[in-house]
Structure 1
Amino acid sequence: MGKNQKGYGIVMFEQFQRPYLLFLIIPLILVALYQWKTEKIGAVLLIQSDRFQKQKSFFSTKFRFILLSLSEVLFYIAGIFLVIAAAGPGERYKLTPDSTNGIDIMIALDISGSMVNSYDFLPKNRLTVSKELLREFIQKRLYDRIGIVVFAGAAYLQSPLSSDRFALDELIIETSDEDINEQGTAIGDALVLSTYRLKDSKAKSKIIILLTDGVSNTGKLDPETASYAAKTFGIKVYSIGIGKEQGQYEVNYESLESISTGTKGRFFRAESPEILQEVLNEINGLETVELPSKPMEIHETHFPSALSIFFILLGVAGLLILYPLTEKL
């Protein structure tokens, strides 16, 4: 087994799509042997025409004898390649990706009005900055599966766990504070929904990245109960409190820290775009674990090559037969 430049183990198999057709080669060989022994070389493939009778005295020459003998052999070899082409020759490459490292991540993004109406992240707002930095973060996580939950007064699934970086990027770009009509900050609901999407994950490491700038003031579940559910399924919560403590909108840092500590995650404060970027860079350095990769199989057909050889041999054999017949008397 070798490796290609992309780090894939390669196992190559010679194979035929219709191998049973190869048995046709056996009677072809038997016929060739029978004719070789019972008839003169060259007479087998020639039509016994009047013209042939006039010229057969020339066939005793050594050169013409060789041409006719060779043409007969080429006809049978061409027949063998025709059978091979019909059998569907090819190679099967089994690509087994090397062990990759990754974790399953759900991003819970607060898109409430305070993320847009605050002024501490000027010239942009908190939501715009968060979206830009999350897009960068997602592109760095090459081997992770990432899902997105957005929340304000209610929580909604934006994307299930996916490794499609392009689709995730487009979803982040399109996310707006107008996506949810319900007012408020339902942190507990966002955590529960994220937990639900991660609970059946087979990854050894599962985390929720919670970005919010507010206090949980609505929703069906409180953050403490939701964090307990995450802990039960072995999910770590990395919560990020966005905005300054003395800002226009209050941030409950103590609650966020309690959520993270209870799930063996970490709490971060991001009071500026620069700090938020540092926080996401730090989370980017989280532990990774091996994820199983399914092998891929690629079939490369050699049918055109076998058929080309058949036509070439057939053409050469035909020319070798025609040459003696076109000689002048």
Structure 2
Amino acid sequence: MNFRFQHIEYLVALATIPLIVVLYFQLMYWKKNTVKKIGDAKLVQALIANYSPINFLLKFIFFALALAAVIVASANLQKPGARDNVQRKGVDVVIAMDVSKSMLAEDIKPNRLERARQLVYKLIDQLPNDRVGLVLFAGRAYLQMPLTTDHGAARMYIQQAGPEVVPTQGTIISEALRAGNSAFNSKERKFKSIVLITDGEDHDPQAVPLAQQLAEDGVMINSVGIGSAEGAPIMDPATNEYKKDENGNTVVSRLNETELQQLAGATKGIYVKLNDVDDAVNAITKQLSTIESTVLDDNAFRDYKSYFQWFLVIAFVFLMAEFFLPERKWKAA
């Protein structure tokens, strides 16, 4: 059986270990220079006669090992267990959600982004037999969550979605479509849909030609437009002021329905303007039901045994050893 880390991204924190090693050597260098500056070498040696450099080194090693064990524990090493004898039929749905700052416009209350979250929550609830993936995009797009039947994880990612997760601003729809398509099985020519949720503010000339290519691969794009034709100013959470252009005029963000309609039409999907969340969810799920379903095989059906507690025990042992080990030399009995 292959082992895996549930949160492998947490292992990045192991980079702190070399850093504290460098700090240790800097501390030893500082101590050595300080001893030289104090005065007579024999007197200094007499004053620190009971000090044990070896014990000090061991205390540092114990601390570093404890820290490493805690980091590995947080990543949660797992071993796959038995697979449940459960079969589900469904389709693969990638939700591509716009998190650009224009989604903070309040022409839809409380704002476009929050209404998009409400839509996704309800949509996921209506897709119990389908695998769901998540792409967050603005000026760039990121596959935030690969296809999975673990809908609880999807809800967690949606809750944390906001402009801060994609530093590059803008609304590059073609990037979102590419990222969404990368989540699908390239060998399949059906069972695939991208649900694109955006205000479509920035026109992307590459989006429609790309949608036509995706249609040939069996991808259906169902687009959801959020916003109004009249538009609304964009509140910048960093400054708590409305966004302004280079001339000092308040920027008004407007819904671009035309492009979203073209994307859906090119892939035999539908376009829905988000006025009522329930109506939009019903329209999308009805359209998704026209896609043939396939038997899904997903890690959500496999039970994993976790081993994080063993690393916490190891960390505790090393911390206790560091705590009780004195910096002084051991005295002979």
TM-score bracket for the superposition, by shorter chain length: 0.5 to 0.7
Per the alignment, in what secondary structure is the counterpart of residue 183 of structure 2?
helix
Deviation at 1:251, TM superposition (A): 2.1
Asked if 1 retains the 8 angstrom alpha-carbon contact of 2:191 and 2:294, the reply is: no
Q: Equivalent residue for 2:210?
A: 226
Deviates more, 1:131-140 or 1:167-176: 131-140
Deviation at 1:284, TM superposition (A): 1.9
Per the alignment, in what secondary structure is the counterpart of residue 200 of structure 1?
coil
Deviation at 1:154, TM superposition (A): 0.8
Asked if 1 retains the 8 angstrom alpha-carbon contact of 2:222 and 2:271, the reply is: yes
Correspondent of 2:106 among 101, 106, 119: 119
Q: Equivalent residue for 2:269?
A: 265
d(CA) in 1 for partners of 2:100, 2:120? 17
Q: Equivalent residue for 2:321?
A: none
Residue type of the alignment partner of 1:292: V
| 1:212 corresponds to 2:198 | yes
User: Taking every aligned residue pair, what percent have the same amino acid on both sides?
Assistant: 29
Q: Equivalent residue for 2:127?
A: 141
Per the alignment, in what secondary structure is the counterpart of residue 212 of structure 2?
helix
Residue type of the alignment partner of 2:108: F
Name the larger-Rg structure.
1
Correspondent of 1:251 among 250, 255, 270: 255
d(CA) in 2 for partners of 1:143, 1:203? 19
d(CA) in 1 for partners of 2:141, 2:209? 16
d(CA) in 1 for partners of 2:196, 2:302? 39
Asked if 2 retains the 8 angstrom alpha-carbon contact of 1:97 and 1:293, the reply is: no
d(CA) in 1 for partners of 2:91, 2:97? 19
Deviations 1:149-192 (A, max 9, x none): 01111111111111111111111111111111111110111011
Residue type of the alignment partner of 1:233: D
Per the alignment, in what secondary structure is the counterpart of residue 198 of structure 1?
coil
Q: Equivalent residue for 2:96?
A: 108
Q: In the comparison of the two structures, how many residue pairs are matched?
A: 198
d(CA) in 2 for partners of 1:97, 1:114? 43
Change beyond 3 A, Cα 1:172–1:137: same
Change beyond 3 A, Cα 1:184–1:95: closer
| 1:283 corresponds to 2:284 | yes
Moved over 4 A (4+): 93-96
Deviation at 1:103, TM superposition (A): 0.7
Correspondent of 1:187 among 156, 168, 173: 173
TM-score, normalised relative to structure 2: 0.54
Residue type of the alignment partner of 1:180: V
d(CA) in 2 for partners of 1:297, 1:137? 24
Asked if 1 retains the 8 angstrom alpha-carbon contact of 2:171 and 2:200, the reply is: yes
Change beyond 3 A, Cα 1:262–1:135: same
Deviation at 1:293, TM superposition (A): 5.6
Residue type of the alignment partner of 1:284: T
Change beyond 3 A, Cα 1:198–1:293: closer
Asked if 2 retains the 8 angstrom alpha-carbon contact of 1:195 and 1:229, the reply is: no
d(CA) in 1 for partners of 2:189, 2:124? 18
**Structure 2: where are the runs of 5+ without partners?**
1-81, 233-252, 304-333
Matches within 5 A, 1:1-329: 96-97=85-86, 100-116=88-104, 118-122=105-109, 124-200=110-186, 202=188, 204-217=190-203, 222-248=206-232, 249-270=253-274, 272=275, 274=276, 276-285=277-286, 286-287=288-289, 289-292=292-295
Deviation at 1:277, TM superposition (A): 3.0
Asked if 2 retains the 8 angstrom alpha-carbon contact of 1:96 and 1:293, the reply is: no
Change beyond 3 A, Cα 1:201–1:110: farther
**Structure 1: where are the runs of 5+ without partners?**
1-92, 299-329
Deviations 1:235-285 (A, max 9, x none): 000011111112221222111111111111111112x3x2x3311222123
Residue type of the alignment partner of 1:277: D
Deviation at 1:297, TM superposition (A): 11
Residue type of the alignment partner of 1:261: G
Residue type of the alignment partner of 2:281: L
Change beyond 3 A, Cα 1:181–1:195: same
Residue type of the alignment partner of 2:97: L
Deviation at 1:199, TM superposition (A): 4.5
TM-score, normalised relative to structure 1: 0.55
Deviation at 1:101, TM superposition (A): 2.9
Cα-Cα RMSD: 2.8
Asked if 1 retains the 8 angstrom alpha-carbon contact of 2:100 and 2:162, the reply is: no
